[in-house]
Amino acid sequence: MDASPQTPAHLASGTIIDDYRIDRVMGGGGFAIVYRAQSLSDGQEVVIKEYFPAKLSRRDEQGVVQPIHENSRSLFLQGRKLFFQEASTLASLDHPNIAAIVGFFHANGTVYTAMRYDRGVSLYGYIKRKGGGLSEERLLSIVLPLLDCLRLVHSRGLLHLDIKPGNIYLRQDAGPILLDFGAVRKLARCAPSYVFPIVSHGFSPIEQGRKSARLGPWTDLYALGATMRASIEAKAPPPARDRMERDTLVPAVVAFQGQYSPAFLAALDAVMGVHPAERPQTVDEFIAALTG
């Protein structure tokens, strides 16, 4: 039966799926809905992500997620496969700064991942509350653990491809964690068969929006650099496409002179080079530049 206009996109509080009871909706983006939930077997608090591409799918009155139209079925199924791949990828990456997957399963015509819940705030929310202006010491306390995490990701031949303040979570009693590996790709598949390019304006580099471009660690590093810049200015940098046509971004060594160390600012400018060859090519190169 088709969904009525009143059928909500999200699952209702109290819904049971697999071993979990949905408590409330926490948020969502273009491809997923995020819930706070509780394990029925041990009472553990978890975060549940449900594959729900807003432009491709709907929920019927039985709660089943399905393509809106028949011509969107292929993209819906392809995305569902990639979403499930994210869970298996995360489960294989054992690192304190990567969200811990505690389960993934099929239900309601779609797929779900369950992650351990940690109290804290997204970097986006933290920047908004602080109004930017994060100190060099604070930025390094966030960025260096994430770089260690990216070193592991890249060593497995993977790229994250969606690093931005909204995908970084600052835990109250531990270090930051990198979220949302839904865009993760194997390096070998990043051109020219690269599909479902996810471009976050201001954070994704120029090559990420070009199907024939070669992607690599330098692609993730640009996004992390843009995140650092946003942490200082409380706004996203100009989109890479605009910078390619006319770069209006004032170099960090000029804009923030005297507020941060020269090595830190020079590294930030280098990692945000518009052209991939201008940037540090590996995590270790960036760390060396960043820490002087």
Q: Is residue 4 situated within a structural domain?
A: no
* Same-domain status, 201 and 85: no
Q: Is residue 112 situated within a structural domain?
A: yes
Residue in the structure block whose two tokens are 């997204």: 122
Res. 235: pLDDT tops 60: yes
How many C-beta atoms surround the C-beta of residue 10 within 10 A? Answer: 16
Express each pLDDT in 162-217 by its tens digit: 899 988 999 987 889 998 776 666 654 444 444 455 788 899 999 998 877 889 99
Give alpha helix (H) positions in the chain: 73-92, 123-130, 136-155, 217-233, 240-245, 252-255, 262-271, 283-290
* Same-domain status, 42 and 153: no
pLDDT of 209 reads: 82
Q: Is residue 10 situated within a structural domain?
A: no
* Same-domain status, 176 and 199: yes
Q: Is residue 109 situated within a structural domain?
A: yes
Mean pLDDT of 43-47: 92
Half-sphere exposure of 238 (CA within 13 A, CB side): 14
What mean pLDDT is reported for the chain? 88
Q: Is residue 1 situated within a structural domain?
A: no
Q: Which two tokens stand for residue 18?
A: 């697999």
* Same-domain status, 267 and 169: yes
* Same-domain status, 146 and 212: yes
Contact at 8 Å (CB) between 3 and 61? Answer: yes
pLDDT of 4 reads: 38
Looking at per-residue pLDDT, the higher value among 292 and 265 belongs to 265
Considering 116, 147, 180, which residue would you say is the last residue of a domain?
116
pLDDT of 191 reads: 45
Q: Which domain holds residue 28?
A: 16-116
* Same-domain status, 145 and 229: yes
Looking at per-residue pLDDT, the higher value among 292 and 43 belongs to 43
Residue 97, Cα to own-chain centre: how many angstroms?
13
Q: Is residue 8 situated within a structural domain?
A: no
Res. 30: pLDDT tops 80: no
pLDDT of 139 reads: 97
pLDDT of 5 reads: 41
Of 47-51, 104-108, 159-163, 224-228, highest mean pLDDT: 224-228
pLDDT of 100 reads: 81
Mean pLDDT of 252-273: 97
Mean pLDDT of 254-263: 97
* Same-domain status, 49 and 112: yes
pLDDT of 103 reads: 87
Q: Is residue 249 situated within a structural domain?
A: yes
Mean pLDDT of 255-274: 97
* Same-domain status, 83 and 146: no
* Same-domain status, 169 and 267: yes
Task: Write the CATH number for 194.
Answer: 1.10.510.10
pLDDT of 135 reads: 97
Q: Is residue 5 situated within a structural domain?
A: no
Task: Write the CATH number for 26.
Answer: 3.30.200.20
**pLDDT tier at 29, thresholds 50, 70, 90:** low
pLDDT of 186 reads: 61
* Same-domain status, 192 and 243: yes
* Same-domain status, 69 and 144: no
Considering 52, 85, 116, which residue would you say is the last residue of a domain?
116
Looking at per-residue pLDDT, the higher value among 171 and 87 belongs to 171
Considering 97, 116, 135, which residue would you say is the last residue of a domain?
116
pLDDT of 273 reads: 97
Give how many domains the chain has, as a whole number.
2
* Same-domain status, 126 and 189: yes
Contact at 8 Å (CB) between 82 and 49? Answer: no
